[in-house]
Amino acid sequence: MNKEIIADLHIHSRYSRATSKNITMEMLVKYARIKGLHLLGTGDFTHPAWIEEIKTLREENGIYYHDDFPFIITGEVSLMYSQDGKGRRVHLLILVPNLEIAKKINEWLDTKGRRDYDGRPIFNISCRDFAAKIEEIDNKIEVICAHAWTPYFGIFGSMSGFDSLKEAFQEHTQKIHAIETKQS
């Protein structure tokens, strides 16, 4: 028997720019239930303060719970760099199997810049290099191109994007199993 799961995996915490400063786990669960969602991403696992709140969730078989509502660990990064003579700005959503792997990602990101100023931190890392390192950290991590067609920060955005996943991720294209086509 197939059970439909309605999920929102691309969310943010109160530590991201342009978000409500009232976001808490309690509020996320309250409104997820009102909207008929069955699963949420935690969002912003890269932010030092928010990861501490994520750590308070109860873990069971790779799913994290607040008041018996399930979450998976997620976050978004902004990659800003140059490639082929063009400035690139790409947002990537990351789905992480557990807190131990989130810690490894955060330790690596700490060698590349700061994570404490925004829930969606910015790094000067190419899509190719990001995917390569993520695969090295753990092959169960999923990388999803966030809001793929938005002009400035989508992988296929008209202002800084690419014409193909291969152009962006090169020999690590096989690591990309999904793109987010719409953000509402």
Return the domain boundaries, the chain.
7-179
pLDDT-based confidence at 156, cuts 50/70/90? very high
* Lowest mean pLDDT, pick from 75-79, 81-85, 178-182: 178-182
Tell me the mean pLDDT in the region 117-125.
Answer: 96
Rounded CA-CA distance 59/118 in Å is 25
In the chain, % of residues over pLDDT 90? 92
pLDDT band at 125 (very low <50, low <70, confident <90, very high): very high
Q: Name the pLDDT band for 119 (thresholds 50, 70, 90).
A: very high
- Tell me what pLDDT residue 169 has: 98
Whole-number pLDDT of residue 3: 85
Question: Angle at CA 124, nearest 5°, toward 81 and 134?
Answer: 110
Mean pLDDT to the nearest integer, 57-66: 96
- Measured CA to CA, the distance from residue 170 to residue 182 in angstroms comes to 24
Q: Identify the pLDDT of residue 34.
A: 97
* From the candidate CATH numbers 3.90.550, 1.25.40, 1.10.8, 3.20.20, the one assigned to the domain spanning 7-179: 3.20.20
pLDDT of residue 2: 67
pTM over 0.85: yes
Distance CA 122, CA 113 (A): 8
Mean pLDDT of 148-156: 94
CA dist 176 and 95 (Å) reads 12
What integer pLDDT is reported at residue 160 of this predicted model?
A: 84
Kindly report, residue by residue over 19-57, the tens digit of the pLDDT. 999 999 999 999 999 999 999 999 999 999 999 999 999
Looking at residue 161, its pLDDT comes to 84
